[in-house]
Structure 1
Amino acid sequence: MEIFRWLNDQLLRMDWLAYLVRLLVEDVFGLDMASRIGGSLHFFIYDVIKIFILLSVLIFAISWVQSYFPPERTRRILAGMQGFRANVMGALLGTVTPFCSCSSIPLFIGFTSSGLPLAVTFSFLISSPLVDLASMVLLASIFNWSIALAYVAVGIVLAVLGGALIGQARMERYVEAFVTQHKVLDLPQEQLSLRDRLGYARKQVAEIIRKVWLYILIGVGIGAAIHNWIPADLITALIGRDHWWSVPLAALVGVPMYADIFGTLPIAEVLVAKGVGLGTVLAFMMAVTALSLPSLIMLKKVVKAPLLALFFAIVVVGIMVIGYLFNTFTYLFL
């Protein structure tokens, strides 16, 4: 256990990096770590470097694995399954695809047009932006492994149940006609060499970093400001864990935002430290990643209002239930 704890502290939490940044702030910049400016600067530099290092390594590894599961192969795997098992597989495959909610929409169109049930495609659509291996490791680096694993578990459950409920509603008629009429080419999987897969992984790292770097900087900047400039009493008075409205408020506030989970993690870290309930923070993160306004607008182009409303309602209610459960059982994780 001691070796595991040491590896976790050095590889995930990067205590060595925190120490080096502390030396930079105190010895080079001449700032007191106890001051607001010094503390904010340390938080910002440390979190930005840590997130970019972890994100690059994780996306590279995940993309290399993902090179064996292109969208066409994923579709074939799902096409051979039926019922609840297909929902579970759709949700699990979503966890190994590091897509944001907007990037998942084209895959949703491809899966639906190829004849996959709505239940399966919506399980994938919910899971893909909400839960992935990179977010699990980053959550562990900020909080701990029990929270990270619990977050992944409830995210998969939400994806499976959400997809299953949509499937039971029999709402295929509310999918736009052009989606079902679109023809998908059934091409054989390209045989890639190791060099090709590594090249693909490098390109994925560059592409994803290019997409999320600004959100990471903004998220860490907001986290640094909350951490050192906004009193804890003010935050807990507004969205403290004792207020019943904190979870629905966090979920609804997260919807208009468009950010990756990597940009929301630094904010989540500070809010928990300030006394905000763990479930409230996770509800905010889930709403931002699974129900961002741009993704809902894009989804409106391919499904009609009743299906979109059902999808939104199921995910919002699921997020709030998860939030209340985590707030109730926080003592099990912290």
Structure 2
Amino acid sequence: MGFTSAGIPIGITMSFLLTSPLINEMAVLLLLSLVGWQITLIYIFVGMAVGIIGGIFLDLIHAEKLLQPFALKAYQSVQPTIHSSDNKPTLSLYERHEFAKHELLDIFRRVWKWVFIGVGLGAALHGFLPVSWIETNLGSGQWWSVPLAVLLGIPLYSNATGVIPVMESLITKGLPIGTTLAFCMSTVAASFPEFILLKQVMTWRLLAIIFTLLLASFTVVGWTLNAIN
């Protein structure tokens, strides 16, 4: 919402949004100790590629048209100012604080309840993670196990650091590395609770496009890693 109201193109916004939950220094260090530098580099590369390619694609289709009306209005309202060659007015320190306070209250009013609903739903479902079922039914590496693992990760929610112990458990139990990584990336970046929050800014059509990009990317990564291993 902040990026949009500042007039930043939706492709750049989504590159940031897609990459930030997948890659952080703590997750990279934990992953390095768990699966080695080769798989860690693939994970970093894929996370960055998803953000970059997804952002470029969304810019090409002018995805800002698929924002919610209030977000689109905010985006369009600042475009003349951004592209104008006239001297832009400078804000005083007091005016900057007032603007920041207004933005904070506006965003908080719009999303606070959805934060509780989305994260609460993810926390509730997290306790029902069928790890034993995953180990039994997805451990033989069939082609369909990767897309199924991606779909199983959607109702759950975790950050990149919190999902590492789950990844370790699955790998230790014999789940193929590609299937495990696809499941964990889906949990971090394509979870149902996250999309509940994003729905406040995006239309269903834009959410479906982003959702499809993510699921396809994670599935291809899982198949590739399973084939390499």
User: TM-score, with normalisation over the residues of structure 2?
Assistant: 0.72
Q: What residue in structure 2 maps to residue 173 of structure 1?
A: 65
TM-aligned CA deviation for residue 267 of structure 1 = 1.7
Paired residue type of 1:156: M
Over 3 Å counting, the alpha-carbon distance change for 1:121 and 1:274 in structure 2 is same
Q: 1:151 aligns with which of 35, 40, 43?
A: 43
Shift of 1:180: 3.8
Structure 2 Cα separation of the partners of residues 144 and 187 of structure 1: 50
Q: Name the residue aligned to 2:207.
A: 308
Report matched runs for 1:13-92 at 5 Å: none
Following superposition, the deviation at residue 235 of structure 1 comes to 5.4
In structure 2, what is the equivalent of residue 264 of structure 1? 163
Aligned positions of 1:156-305 closer than 5 A: 156-182=48-74, 237-305=136-204
Amino acid at match of 2:29: V
Runs of 5+ unmatched residues, structure 1: 1-108, 190-211
Give me the identity figure in percent: 37
Instruction: Tell me the amino acid that sits aligned with residue 146 of structure 2.
Output: V
Query: Aligned match of 1:118 in 3, 7, 10?
Result: 10
Structure 2: tracts of 5 or more residues without a match: 79-89, 94-118
Per-residue CA deviation, residues 242-293 of structure 1 (Å, 9 max, x unaligned), is 3111111111110100122222211211211222111111111111110121
Partner of residue 34, structure 2: 142
Output the aligned Cα RMSD.
3.1
Give the C-alpha shift of residue 129 in structure 1.
Answer: 0.7
Answer yes or no: is the 8 Å Cα contact 2:141–2:179 preserved in 1.
no
1:261 is paired with a residue whose SS is coil
Letter in 1 for 2:164: L
Q: Following the alignment from structure 1 to structure 2, what is the Cα–Cα distance between the partners of residues 188 and 119?
A: 31
TM-score scaled by length of structure 1:
0.51
Number of the residue aligned with 1:325: 224
The amino acid across from 2:51 in the alignment is A
- AA paired with 1:326? L
Structure 1 CA distance for aligned equivalents of residues 138 and 219 of structure 2: 14
Distance 1:235 1:312 in 2: 22
Partner of 2:106: none
Deviations 1:103-132 (A, max 9, x none): xxxxxx111221111111111110011111
Equivalent position amino acid for 1:258 in 2: Y
Structure 1: 4+ residue segments shifted above 3 A: 180-184, 186-189, 234-237
Aligned partner of 1:31 in structure 2 is none
1:267 partner SS: helix
